[in-house]
């Protein structure tokens, strides 16, 4: 399922001013729950924020794997010495709709994909994306605040 993620990076300690030229990495599992490893690099990418602190990733809704809520990892690197890493989660109703379609439907999706993950329960409300329909897929925007 196509997914567009628009991220804006702001520096909280500077009055939420946009951070230009920050490297933003994202990575996540494919529909079968697998990550790229070794020499493979599918569903991994880096964008550099523009002058408004924005970057855009065109990817897919991630699959799931045992015991964890479906998520997208991200890391913001405003310079070569520092970085902030976290995860974005998805609302369960959207996941259940997506997971009923191929190729996700080739495996039985969990009934409650988020509820079984301690990390989601600890931070899910704060880090859950709010996707909206976008063509044949979805898109979401999120502002990431760094120190």
pLDDT in tens, 63-88: 998 889 999 999 999 999 999 999 99
Which residues have a Cβ under 8 Å from the Cβ of 129 and sit 6 or more positions away? 5, 88, 89, 90, 91, 140, 142
Domains of the chain: 2-146 (2.60.130.10)
Handedness of CA 115, 117, 123, 127 (dihedral sign): negative
d(CA 115, CA 53): 33
Cis peptide preceding 59, ω within 30 of 0: no
Q: What would the pLDDT profile of 110-146 be if each residue is shown by its tens digit?
A: 999 998 888 888 876 789 999 999 999 999 999 999 9
Segment 30-36 mean pLDDT: 96
Q: How confident is the model at residue 97 (pLDDT cuts 50, 70, 90)?
A: very high
Distance of alpha carbon 4 from its chain centroid, rounded?
10
**Residue 139 DSSP code:** E
Instruction: Please give the Cα distance from 67 to 117 (Å, whole number).
Output: 6
Question: Degrees (nearest 5) of the Cα angle 85, 118, 64?
Answer: 75
Predicted confidence (pLDDT) at residue 14 exceeds the cutoff of 90? yes
pLDDT of 139? 98
Tell me what the pLDDT averaged over the chain comes to: 95
At 67 the pLDDT is 85
User: What pLDDT sits at residue 124?
Assistant: 65
CB 21 within 8 A of CB 9: no
Confidence at residue 125, expressed as pLDDT on a 0 to 100 scale: 72
């Amino acid at each position: 399922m196509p997914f567009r993620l628009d991220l804006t990076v702001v520096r909280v300690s500077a009055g939420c001013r946009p951070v230009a030229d920050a490297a933003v990495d994202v990575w996540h599992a494919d529909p079968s729950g697998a990550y790229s490893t070794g020499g493979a690099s599918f569903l991994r990418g880096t964008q550099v924020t523009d002058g408004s602190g924005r970057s855009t990733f065109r990817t897919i809704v991630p699959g799931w794997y045992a015991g964890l809520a479906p998520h997208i990892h991200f890391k913001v690197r405003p310079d070569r010495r520092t970085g902030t890493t976290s995860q974005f989660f998805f609302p369960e109703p959207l996941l259940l709709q997506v997971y009923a379609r191929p190729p996700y439907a080739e495996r039985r999706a969990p009934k409650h994909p988020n509820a079984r993950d301690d990390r989601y329960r600890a931070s899910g409300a704060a880090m859950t994306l709010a996707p909206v329909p976008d063509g044949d897929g979805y898109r979401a925007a999120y502002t990431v605040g760094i120190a």
